[in-house]
């Protein structure tokens, strides 16, 4: 348990660690006030049952005479009122501490989710090629919430109520060592035995809960993500069947762990009542009169009233910590395996302005866990202001090469050199500012057309004249004005479901142009367009060709025909280069493609 708490503290953000330390002071105060309140009630009942105690008990006698009391009645009244005030104060402190503890736990869960999202977002692109998006979503949402309810909150309760148990036991020991030792021994012993017996099971539940949650999230992602195919094939039941057992397992595990954490209380309460009867009889049998038996029994009642519930909270906290251990480890591993997020500079990075050429020198790349290299020994030069086409069969390495040019993938070998300057960590952001990119499949957010074209720009800072100009170039302006109900203010639906593939692609092109990039990279950007629209879009793109450098991947050779240079890839290598006519005249491979 100690180990789990230490690992949790190490995982918290420094700010949360400081807040936790402050909270601990409040927790100590709570433990003290709870014990003190109860500790005052006992002498009160002792005096009530045996008024002679005022004279016999030196401490009580000193207070009685010191404060100038003359009759037992008024002394008892004041004593009772003070004890009541202390109990009320203890209750107020407890309410405040409980509120603060919950606030702390939930806020640290929020910050954990935020840190996880930030850590993931700042990872290199290659990280996302290796991880499932559903797994990341689960970590950010479900796991950070589990960390709150199974680790941080129970951890706080364990610390708080261990203190209450210790101080309460101290008071009981001072009042009646015999009763305190026998009661403490029985309650403590029972909890230790039950915890030992259920420890392994709880840890296993934690691991299985993690697996079940992964399965739940993954089946939801596949089912909703592939809804079109699933509906068409009528496979809804397949995904329901995948989701159902995982969800049921998660529910069952949560129920079992909650029951395991809570149920000892009832067993111990039953034992405690049996014990009270036995103790009363035992005390009487040892020859103590009823008045003498009462203090011993009140120590016992105190145990029932405070010690058992507090010990129960410690126990259920420990049980939850046992379950939460695997989620804690999973989050820790993720932080350990990822690069700590380096905040991107908040000052606006100036876009690089390539003036002469973009050179790829001996570039090679292998995807993680793949034996084969995706591209190898690629050396080529792209003159600034020219347009180049990348062609090649499927799997030839075109997208990989473009991702390297975009700085999304870092070459395993070789380098990209812009005007003689190699691109590295220090100038990557500036290089990326110079790029406009149109991917094969365009991501659209469920916002307006204008916000999608100016993606990432705050609504009130969008330059509408520029949006329209880019939409015109991408041949989508007329459609937006004539067919969309609110023109540029029309929402496009989740992932752009209200648009056709070609319309989405043209919005993607307008988006790339909005940044006014000096290098425009198009990956199969016009493949979803009909021939006439493609021709019109390509004419607009080609019209930019002497202001911008254009790099495009295309399967249709007619698309790359006007390019100044065509690079042909095959099995990850550059096999031919030249203009369309040169290649037609010299390359058998190219001729075959044509
Ligand atoms: N994320 C990935 N993980 C592992 N291997 C990959 C990954 N992406 C691509 N590859 C491999 O790298 C090689 C080149 O793929 P790439 O996508 O660059 O080809 P391409 O020429 O763009 O193909 P296409 O025209 O079909 O899109 C292929 O062998 C492919 O299997």
Which domains, ranges and CATH numbers included, belong to the chain?
2-337 (1.20.1560.10), 357-593 (3.40.50.300)
- Closest ligand 1 atom, CA of 396? 21
- Ligand 1 neighbours, Cβ below 6 Å, are 129, 367, 370, 374, 392, 394-400
The DSSP code for 286 is T
- The number of CA neighbours under 13 Å toward the Cβ of 478 is 4
* pLDDT on residue 114: 92
Using CA atoms, how far apart are residues 209 and 327, in angstroms rounded to an integer? 9
Contact 109, 147 (CB under 8 A): yes
Supply 196's token pair. Answer: 């030992």
Helices (H) and strands (E) in the chain, counts: 25, 10
Q: Quick one: pLDDT at residue 226?
A: 83
Supply the residue whose CA is at minimum distance from atom 18 of ligand 1: 397
To test the ligand 1 pocket, which listed residue (126, 398, 559, 567) has its Cβ within 8 A of the most ligand atoms? 398
Most confidently modeled of 52-61, 329-338, 500-509? 329-338
Q: Give CA–CA dist 511/83, Å, rounded.
A: 72
Show Cβ contacts of residue 445 under 8 Å, excluding neighbours closer than 6 positions. 451, 452, 455, 492
Report which ligand 1 atom has the smallest distance to the Cα of 555.
25
How far apart (Å, rounded) are the C-alpha atoms in residues 124 and 301? 62
With the most atoms of ligand 1 within 8 angstroms of its CB, the residue from 368, 392, 393, 397 to mutate is: 397
Average pLDDT, the chain: 85
User: Confidence class of residue 131 from pLDDT cuts 50, 70 and 90?
Assistant: confident
Ramachandran sector of residue 382 (left: φ over 0; alpha: ψ -120 to 50; beta: rest): beta
Percent of the chain with pLDDT over 90: 28
Confidence of residue 406 (pLDDT cuts 50, 70, 90): very high
Query: CB-based burial of residue 456 (10 Å sphere; 0-12 exposed, 13-18 middle, 19+ buried)?
Result: exposed
In angstroms, rounded to a whole number, what is the distance separating the alpha carbons of residues 350 and 430? 6
Distance of alpha carbon 23 from alpha carbon 21, whole angstroms: 5
Percent with pLDDT over 70 in the chain: 95
554 dihedral zone (left: phi>0; alpha: psi -120 to 50; beta): beta
Measured in Å, residue 125 CA sits from the centre of ligand 1 at: 15
The span from the CA of 191 to the CA of 300, in Å, is: 18
Confidence of residue 365 (pLDDT cuts 50, 70, 90): very high
pLDDT at residue 441 is higher than 60: yes
10 Å CB burial of residue 469 (0-12, 13-18, 19+) is middle
DSSP 369: T
Tell me phi and psi for residue 390, to 5 degrees. Answer: -110, 120
């Amino acid at each position: 348990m100690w180990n789990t708490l230490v690992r949790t503290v190490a995982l918290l953000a420094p700010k949360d660690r400081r807040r936790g330390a402050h909270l601990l002071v409040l927790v100590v105060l709570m433990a003290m006030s709870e014990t003190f309140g109860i500790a005052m009630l006992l002498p009160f009942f002792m005096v009530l049952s045996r008024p002679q105690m005022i004279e016999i008990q030196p401490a009580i006698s000193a207070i009685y005479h010191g404060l100038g009391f003359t009759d037992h009645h008024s002394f008892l009244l004041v004593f009772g009122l003070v004890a009541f005030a202390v109990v009320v104060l203890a209750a107020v402190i407890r309410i405040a501490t409980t509120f603060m503890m919950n606030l702390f736990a939930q806020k640290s869960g929020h910050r954990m989710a935020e840190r996880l999202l930030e850590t993931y977002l700042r990872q290199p692109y290659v990280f996302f090629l290796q991880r499932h998006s559903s797994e990341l979503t689960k970590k950010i949402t479900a796991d950070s919430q589990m960390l709150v309810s199974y680790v941080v909150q129970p951890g706080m309760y364990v610390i708080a109520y261990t203190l209450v148990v210790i101080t309460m036991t101290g008071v009981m020991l001072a009042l009646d060592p015999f009763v305190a030792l026998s009661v403490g021994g029985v309650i403590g012993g029972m909890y230790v035995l039950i915890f030992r017996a259920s420890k392994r099971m709880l840890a296993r539940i934690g691991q299985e809960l993690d697996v079940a949650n992964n399965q739940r999230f993954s089946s939801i992602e596949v089912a909703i993500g592939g809804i079109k195919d699933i509906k068409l094939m009528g496979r809804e039941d397949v995904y329901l069947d995948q989701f159902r057992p995982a969800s049921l397992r998660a529910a069952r595990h949560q129920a079992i762990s909650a029951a395991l954490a809570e149920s000892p209380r009832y067993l111990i309460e039953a034992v405690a009542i049996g014990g009270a009867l036995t103790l009363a009889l035992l005390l009487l049998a040892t020859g103590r009169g009823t008045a003498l038996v009462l203090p011993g029994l009140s120590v016992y009642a105190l145990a029932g009233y405070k010690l058992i519930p507090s010990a129960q909270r410690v126990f259920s906290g420990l049980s939850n910590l046992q379950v939460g251990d695997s989620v804690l480890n999973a989050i820790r591993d993720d932080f350990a395996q990822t690069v700590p997020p380096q905040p991107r500079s908040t000052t606006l990075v100036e876009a690089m302005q390539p003036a002469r050429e973009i050179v790829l020198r001996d570039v090679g790349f292998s995807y993680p866990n793949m034996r084969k290299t995706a591209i190898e020994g690629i050396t080529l030069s792209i003159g600034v202001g020219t347009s180049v086409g990348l062609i090649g069969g499927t799997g030839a390495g075109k997208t990989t090469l473009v991702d390297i040019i975009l700085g999304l993938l870092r070459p395993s070998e070789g380098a990209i050199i812009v005007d003689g300057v190699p691109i590295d960590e220090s100038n990557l952001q500036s290089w990326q500012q110079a790029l406009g990119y149109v991917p094969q499949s365009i991501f659209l957010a469920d916002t307006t057309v204008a916000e999608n074209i100016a993606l990432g720009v705050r609504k009130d800072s969008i330059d509408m004249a520029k949006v329209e100009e880019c939409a015109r170039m991408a041949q989508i302006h007329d459609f937006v004005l004539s067919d969309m109900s609110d023109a540029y203010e029309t929402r496009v639906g989740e992932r752009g479901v209200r648009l056709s593939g070609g319309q989405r692609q043209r919005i993607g092109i307008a988006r790339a142009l909005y940044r006014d990039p000096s290098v425009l990279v198009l990956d199969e950007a016009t493949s979803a367009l009909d021939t006439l629209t493609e021709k019109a879009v390509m004419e607009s793109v080609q019209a930019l060709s002497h202001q911008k450098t254009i790099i495009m991947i295309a399967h249709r050779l007619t698309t790359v025909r006007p390019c100044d240079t065509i690079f042909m890839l095959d099995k990850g290598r550059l096999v031919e280069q030249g203009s369309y006519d040169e290649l037609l005249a010299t390359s058998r491979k190219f001729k075959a493609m044509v």
